[in-house]
Structure 1
Amino acid sequence: MLDKQGNGASTDNRDNDCAHNTVERGQQRFKTYYEEQELVDEEEWNHFWNTLFVPLPACFWISQSHPSSTRMSALCKQLEAYFSSVEEVDSIKSSIPYPLKWFPNELAWCLNISRQVLKRDEKLSKLHDFIVEQNSSGVINRQEAVSMLPPVLLQVQPGDKVLDMCAAPGSKTAQLLDMLGAKNYSAAERQVCTIRLSKDIVDIHESLVVANDSNLKRCWMLIHQLKRFSCPYIVITNHEAQKFPVGMRFNRILCDVPCSGDGTLRKSPDLWKRWYADTGMNLHPLQLAILLRGCDLLETGGKLVYSTCSLNPVENEAVVAEVLRRRSTQISLINVDNLLSNLKFRRGLTSWKVKNNAEEFGFFTCYEEVPLHRRKKIPPSLFPKDDLKDLGIDKCIRILPHDQDTGGFFIAMFEKVSRDTQDTWQKLRFDKEKAYMKTRRISRLISDDPFERLSTVNISLLKTIAYFYGLDEELLSNHLMTRTSDAGRVRRIYYLSEQVKSIVENSVGNLDRLTTDDDNEKYPYRVVHGGIRCFEAVDCKYQVECPYRIVFEGAPLIALRMSKRLEYVEDEEVWNFLLHVKDVIKIAEIPFINLRTSLEQTSPGSVIFCFTNESTKDYLVRMERVG
Structure 2
Amino acid sequence: MGRGRGGSRTQRRHFRQNRENVWKRTKPDPSSENPTENNGADPSWQPFATQNPAFEEYYKEQGIVAPEEWDLFMEYLRKPLPAAFRINSSSQFCSDIRTQLESDFMISLQSEVSEGGELQPIRPLAWYPENLAWHSNFSRMQLRKNQTLERFHEFLKLENEIGNITRQEAVSMVPPLFLDVRPEHFILDMCAAPGSKTFQLLEIIHRSTKPGHLPDGLVVANDLDVQRCNLLIHQTKRMCTANLIVTNNEAQHFPGCRSTKKSSSASEIGMELEPPISQLLFDRVLCDVPCSGDGTLRKAPDIWRKWHAGHGNGLHALQVQIAMRGLSLLKVGGRMVYSTCSMNPVENEAVIGEILRKCGGSVELVDVSSELPQLVRRPGLKKWKVRDKGKWLASSKDVGKYRTNAIGPGMFPSGRNLARSMNHRDSTEEEEKHENGEDENVVEELQSSEDAVFSGNEVDEEVSPFPLERCMRIVPHDQNGGAFFVAVLHKHSPLPANQGTANLADETNTEATSEAELIEGEQDGVPLEPDISIKSEENGSEANQVPGDEAADPKKNGGKRKQLQGKWKGVDPVVLFKDEAVIDAIKTFYGIDESFPFNGHLVTRNNDTNHVKRIYYVSKAVKDALDLNFYVGEQLKIASVGLKMFERQTASVASCAPCAFRISSEGLPLILPYITKQILHASPVDFKHILQYKSIKFSDFVDAEFGAKASNLMLGCCVLVLSKDGKFSSDPIQVDESTIAIGCWKGQNSLSMMVTALDCQELLERLLMRIETGNGSLESTDEASNGNVDVEMEDMQKNGDKEMVTATEG
Measured against the shorter chain, the TM-score band is 0.7 to 0.9
Listed one character per residue, the Cα deviations across residues 4-25 of structure 1 (whole Å, up to 9, x for unaligned) are: xxxx9655278238xx999769
Residue in structure 1 matched with residue 528 of structure 2 by the alignment: none
Kept in 1, the 8 Å contact 2:160–2:166? The answer is yes
Q: Supply the AA of the counterpart residue of 1:529.
A: S
1: CA distance, partners of 2:154 / 2:100: 15
Residue in structure 2 matched with residue 75 of structure 1 by the alignment: 100
Q: Supply the AA of the counterpart residue of 1:265.
A: L
Among 121, 129, 141, which residue is 2:166 paired with?
Answer: 141
1: CA distance, partners of 2:475 / 2:490: 25
Q: Does 1:604 align with 2:715?
A: yes
Give the count of matched residue pairs.
582
Residue in structure 2 matched with residue 263 of structure 1 by the alignment: 295
Kept in 1, the 8 Å contact 2:338–2:488? The answer is yes
Q: 1:216 to 1:441 in 2, by over 3 A?
A: closer
SS of structure 1 residue aligned to 2:487? strand
SS of structure 1 residue aligned to 2:157? helix
2: CA distance, partners of 1:25 / 1:608: 55
Among 594, 597, 621, which residue is 2:742 paired with?
Answer: 621
The CA deviation at 1:485 is: 4.3
SS of structure 1 residue aligned to 2:624? helix
Residue in structure 2 matched with residue 585 of structure 1 by the alignment: 696
Task: List aligned pairs for 1:499-514, cutoff 5 A.
Answer: 499-507=621-629, 514=632
2: CA distance, partners of 1:342 / 1:228: 30
Q: Supply the AA of the counterpart residue of 1:385.
A: S
Q: Supply the AA of the counterpart residue of 1:170.
A: G
Residue in structure 1 matched with residue 398 of structure 2 by the alignment: 369
Q: 1:281 to 1:541 in 2, by over 3 A?
A: same
The CA deviation at 1:594 is: 2.0
The CA deviation at 1:431 is: 5.6
Residue in structure 2 matched with residue 38 of structure 1 by the alignment: 63
Q: 1:122 to 1:22 in 2, by over 3 A?
A: closer
Residue in structure 2 matched with residue 278 of structure 1 by the alignment: 310
Residue in structure 2 matched with residue 546 of structure 1 by the alignment: 659
Among 668, 673, 694, which residue is 1:560 paired with?
Answer: 673
The CA deviation at 1:323 is: 0.4
Among 220, 225, 244, which residue is 2:230 paired with?
Answer: 220
The CA deviation at 1:140 is: 1.7
Q: Does 1:529 align with 2:633?
A: no
1: CA distance, partners of 2:603 / 2:402: 57
The CA deviation at 1:285 is: 0.7
2: CA distance, partners of 1:401 / 1:172: 20
Q: Does 1:342 align with 2:374?
A: yes
Listed one character per residue, the Cα deviations across residues 222-241 of structure 1 (whole Å, up to 9, x for unaligned) are: 22221121211110001010
Q: 1:163 to 1:86 in 2, by over 3 A?
A: closer
SS of structure 1 residue aligned to 2:52? helix
Kept in 2, the 8 Å contact 1:432–1:523? The answer is no
Listed one character per residue, the Cα deviations across residues 447-474 of structure 1 (whole Å, up to 9, x for unaligned) are: 232222222xx22111111111122568
2: CA distance, partners of 1:311 / 1:430: 35
Residue in structure 2 matched with residue 244 of structure 1 by the alignment: 254
SS of structure 1 residue aligned to 2:361? coil
2: CA distance, partners of 1:282 / 1:90: 41
Aligned residues: CA RMSD: 2.7
Residue in structure 2 matched with residue 380 of structure 1 by the alignment: 409
Q: 1:388 to 1:546 in 2, by over 3 A?
A: farther
Q: Supply the AA of the counterpart residue of 1:218.
A: R
SS of structure 2 residue aligned to 1:299? strand
Kept in 2, the 8 Å contact 1:182–1:230? The answer is no
Q: 1:371 to 1:84 in 2, by over 3 A?
A: closer
2: CA distance, partners of 1:436 / 1:336: 35
Residue in structure 1 matched with residue 328 of structure 2 by the alignment: 296
Listed one character per residue, the Cα deviations across residues 57-104 of structure 1 (whole Å, up to 9, x for unaligned) are: 1111111111221111112223332133459x7557944321111101
Q: Supply the AA of the counterpart residue of 2:620.
A: E
Task: List aligned pairs for 1:291-440, cutoff 5 A.
Answer: 291-357=323-389, 359=390, 362-385=391-414, 390-424=465-499, 427-430=500-503, 432-435=505-508
Kept in 1, the 8 Å contact 2:647–2:664? The answer is yes
1: CA distance, partners of 2:674 / 2:647: 18
Q: Supply the AA of the counterpart residue of 1:530.
A: V
Q: Does 1:575 align with 2:687?
A: yes
Q: 1:428 to 1:435 in 2, by over 3 A?
A: farther
Q: Does 1:49 align with 2:170?
A: no
Kept in 1, the 8 Å contact 2:678–2:714? The answer is no
The CA deviation at 1:389 is: 5.7
Q: 1:545 to 1:441 in 2, by over 3 A?
A: same
Q: Supply the AA of the counterpart residue of 1:30.
A: F
SS of structure 1 residue aligned to 2:232? helix
2: CA distance, partners of 1:478 / 1:118: 47
Kept in 1, the 8 Å contact 2:254–2:509? The answer is no
Q: Does 1:453 align with 2:572?
A: no
SS of structure 1 residue aligned to 2:597? helix
Q: Supply the AA of the counterpart residue of 1:256.
A: D
2: CA distance, partners of 1:431 / 1:232: 27
Listed one character per residue, the Cα deviations across residues 147-194 of structure 1 (whole Å, up to 9, x for unaligned) are: 0001111232211111110111111111111112269xxxxxxxxxxx
Where does structure 1 lack aligned partners over 5 or more consecutive residues? 1-7, 184-195, 515-521
Among 237, 241, 244, which residue is 1:231 paired with?
Answer: 241
Q: Supply the AA of the counterpart residue of 1:222.
A: L
Aligned residues with identical type, % of pairs:
35
Q: 1:433 to 1:590 in 2, by over 3 A?
A: same
Kept in 1, the 8 Å contact 2:549–2:569? The answer is no
Bigger mean CA deviation after superposition, 548-557 or 92-101? 92-101
Kept in 2, the 8 Å contact 1:453–1:477? The answer is no
Residue in structure 2 matched with residue 481 of structure 1 by the alignment: 603
Q: Supply the AA of the counterpart residue of 1:115.
A: R
1: CA distance, partners of 2:319 / 2:743: 46
SS of structure 1 residue aligned to 2:41? helix
Normalised by the length of structure 1, the TM-score is: 0.87
Q: 1:377 to 1:84 in 2, by over 3 A?
A: closer
Q: Supply the AA of the counterpart residue of 1:71.
A: D
Residue in structure 1 matched with residue 210 of structure 2 by the alignment: 197
Residue in structure 2 matched with residue 112 of structure 1 by the alignment: 137
Normalised by the length of structure 2, the TM-score is: 0.68
Kept in 2, the 8 Å contact 1:86–1:92? The answer is no
Q: Supply the AA of the counterpart residue of 1:537.
A: R
The CA deviation at 1:409 is: 0.4
Q: 1:506 to 1:487 in 2, by over 3 A?
A: farther
Residue in structure 1 matched with residue 619 of structure 2 by the alignment: 497
Q: Supply the AA of the counterpart residue of 2:220.
A: V
1: CA distance, partners of 2:48 / 2:652: 62
Q: 1:441 to 1:218 in 2, by over 3 A?
A: closer
SS of structure 2 residue aligned to 1:167? coil
Listed one character per residue, the Cα deviations across residues 108-153 of structure 1 (whole Å, up to 9, x for unaligned) are: 1111221212221222222222222222232221111100001111
Kept in 1, the 8 Å contact 2:414–2:465? The answer is no
Bigger mean CA deviation after superposition, 266-275 or 604-613? 604-613
Bigger mean CA deviation after superposition, 115-124 or 459-468? 115-124
Q: 1:29 to 1:90 in 2, by over 3 A?
A: closer
SS of structure 2 residue aligned to 1:324? helix
Among 183, 190, 194, which residue is 1:158 paired with?
Answer: 183
1: CA distance, partners of 2:145 / 2:187: 39
Listed one character per residue, the Cα deviations across residues 511-556 of structure 1 (whole Å, up to 9, x for unaligned) are: xx54xxxxxxx66211111110100111243411001111100111
2: CA distance, partners of 1:21 / 1:37: 31
Q: Supply the AA of the counterpart residue of 2:385.
A: K
